[in-house]
Structure 1
Amino acid sequence: MSYRPTLDDLNAFAAIVTYRSFRRAAGELGLSPSTLSHMMRNMEARMGVRLLHRTTRSVAATEAGEMLLDRLKPVLRDLDLALDAVGEFSGQPSGTLRINASEIAARVLMNTAIPLFLERYPAIALDVVTENRLVDIVNEGFDAGIRLRESVPLDMVAVEFGGEARFLAVAAPTYLRNHKLPITPEDLRHHRCIRLRMPSGKLYRWEFEKHGQEVTMEVSGALTLDHVGLMAEAAAKGLGIAYVAERVARPYLASGELVSILDDWCPPIPGLCLYYSGHRHVPQSLRAFISILTEVERHGG
């Protein structure tokens, strides 16, 4: 094949397939969707092979496109690492640091590490993507992820921060005035519970533990939500009992809008971790972020 796509073409193609959207890829690359579409049609025409399936709603790689992306990912990754390594000679970390995190974790970082990081390393662009689903950070192009310690894959390097976490069952005083106070998790079967639907479509199962006895249950209730913040808000309105992270419930507990129940069944668990692959070169930008995270943790941030 005499024609060779440019690096810009290949980066654009990889972004389109990764995001399954011309619009999202265009936003990531700083181009217009029409420009991206023109680039891809020109690339396909000159290569003589169709790389993308296009519909009015989505875009996906053809078989040839999937093969190209599989071969392309490590090449682009190695290129980024090479440029990052060269950039280290400048003495000032630069580039883009991509972190995948839960919304709760992102809020913790916004109140602690992120402001100091942006102030100290102005040449680094920090891209934080919040999702409720667990992702493969390597395959999806992230430098690091942040989740609860128990959710971190075993083959990842983990950096703990923020102390222990705790999940609480909470309800409004107005709800408890009209319903018998639960004493054990089994008592929840007689209550209206506010359920959480995961991105996979499955309902989140509530987990309790006391003196080594573990109880995991799928509760029932008339209201199901897909956001923990909305669950706490619904519970504060007296719509039922919610099971949320203590960080989410804390403002409502402080104001008296919510009270915690089944406290002796809700022990602390290992808290948040930043994690990354130990099998890849750790970019200078990530090392800088870890140093800030460690510094904030040392000073009780």
Structure 2
Amino acid sequence: MDVLQVMRAFSYVVHTGSLTAAAARLETTTANISRMLANLEAHLHIRLLNRTTRRIALTEAGKLYLERCEQILSLVEVAEDEVQQQHSRPVGQLRIHAMHGLGQSYVMDLINRYRKRYPQVTFNLTMSNHMPDLLEEGYDMSILLQETPPVVSYGVKELGATHGILCASPDYLRVAGTPETPEDLRQHACLGFCDPSRPVDEWVLYGPHGRAQVSLAESPLRVDSEEAMRSALTCALGIGLLPAYAAAPALRSGTLVQVMTDYRSGRCGIYALYPSARRPDVRTSTWVDHLVCHLPGMLAGDAALLCA
């Protein structure tokens, strides 16, 4: 027995006073409505309606059951409306993770743009270079930077790519000179990252003469974030590799300059990961679409700065 459909039939019969009218509302037959009511009373072991050829009247049990039925049917309608709204216009909270540098450079601005279009969506943003377990930790999606596509059972969308460039402060270069080749870097303070995803003791650069490796065995400083690296370079502590997006603000202001412009690190892809590969909810799907629409242009703007 379809309990909700039987409840609807019972309610329609009471309010219209007719099995025929109720059948028309539910697009079925009068005989089927009569059968549903009989099955309902048999299931409950009590009479709900007193029926004559002229009128239908509720029993005391029927009055109580009708009240509860209408409460339940009203809640079902509310639930259905809420779900349909979720598929038409996003509302609620998005809990997202982004690698720290990406979050600082792009994600804040992207959230601002998204909320201008969908103001009923709120964000809970965590910035960390540690990749969380999306399902276990309850994230809707993550924005990652890595050299190879993620091998995961999540939905994955590539959003663009960037690469590392060599930077230093004008003050450092004034004192130490400007390197022109990978071999020249041996005479400079080369700053490294403490990052398990990158080689700790070397840079791998690509330039006019192919691939070159630069040892960081004598590095005077290692840091664990792009922000810390940018700060160290600004303080004239040496030469370092920064993703183009992380270097762009300092290059614009002149606090850092690019050195050895023909050399850069390997390509790193930027990826959106979300738990459901088949059917993400409307908040997640519109957010990912928003990233796909806007992030490549932001990356291209920073790349154009390097070309200039």
Q: How many residues end up aligned between the 2 structures? A: 216
Letter in 1 for 2:174: R
Aligned to 2:264: 266
**Can you list the C-alpha shifts for 1:194-250, whole angstroms capped at 9, x where unaligned?**
222237998474331135833454513222222322222221222111211122222
Aligned to 2:211: 214
Aligned to 2:3: none
1:98 touches 1:143 (CA, 8 Å); kept in 2? yes
Taking structure 2 as the reference length, the TM-score comes to 0.59
Q: Are 1:88 and 2:87 an aligned pair? A: no
Shift of 1:278: 5.0
Mapped to 2, the partners of 1:256 and 1:150 lie a distance apart of 29
Q: Identical aligned pairs, as a percentage?
A: 27
Distance 1:258 1:133, change over 3 A: same
Aligned to 2:287: 289
Determine helix, strand or coil for the equivalent of 1:257. Answer: coil
Distance 1:209 1:295, change over 3 A: closer
**Can you list the C-alpha shifts for 1:53-76, whole angstroms capped at 9, x where unaligned?**
xxxxxxxxxxxxxxxxxxxxxxxx
2:96 touches 2:141 (CA, 8 Å); kept in 1? yes
Task: Name structure 1 gaps, 5 residues minimum.
Answer: 1-83
1:194 touches 1:224 (CA, 8 Å); kept in 2? yes
1:164 touches 1:268 (CA, 8 Å); kept in 2? no
Of 114-123 and 206-215, the range deviating more from structure 2: 206-215
Shift of 1:164: 3.8
1:191 touches 1:221 (CA, 8 Å); kept in 2? no
Mapped to 1, the partners of 2:141 and 2:108 lie a distance apart of 16
Taking structure 1 as the reference length, the TM-score comes to 0.60
2:92 touches 2:122 (CA, 8 Å); kept in 1? yes
Mapped to 1, the partners of 2:197 and 2:266 lie a distance apart of 26
RMSD: 3.3
Equivalent residues in 2 for 1:58-73 (5 A)? none
Aligned to 1:136: 133
Letter in 2 for 1:142: Y
Aligned to 2:98: 101
**Can you list the C-alpha shifts for 1:94-123, whole angstroms capped at 9, x where unaligned?**
332221111222230222x21132233233
Letter in 2 for 1:221: S
**Which of 139, 143, 148 is the matching residue for 2:145?**
148
Determine helix, strand or coil for the equivalent of 1:274. Answer: strand
* Structure with greater Cα Rg: 2
Equivalent residues in 2 for 1:240-279 (5 A)? 240-266=238-264, 269=267, 271-279=269-277
Q: Are 1:183 and 2:180 an aligned pair? A: yes
Mapped to 1, the partners of 2:204 and 2:227 lie a distance apart of 19
Determine helix, strand or coil for the equivalent of 2:151. Answer: coil
1:132 touches 1:199 (CA, 8 Å); kept in 2? no
Distance 1:96 1:255, change over 3 A: closer
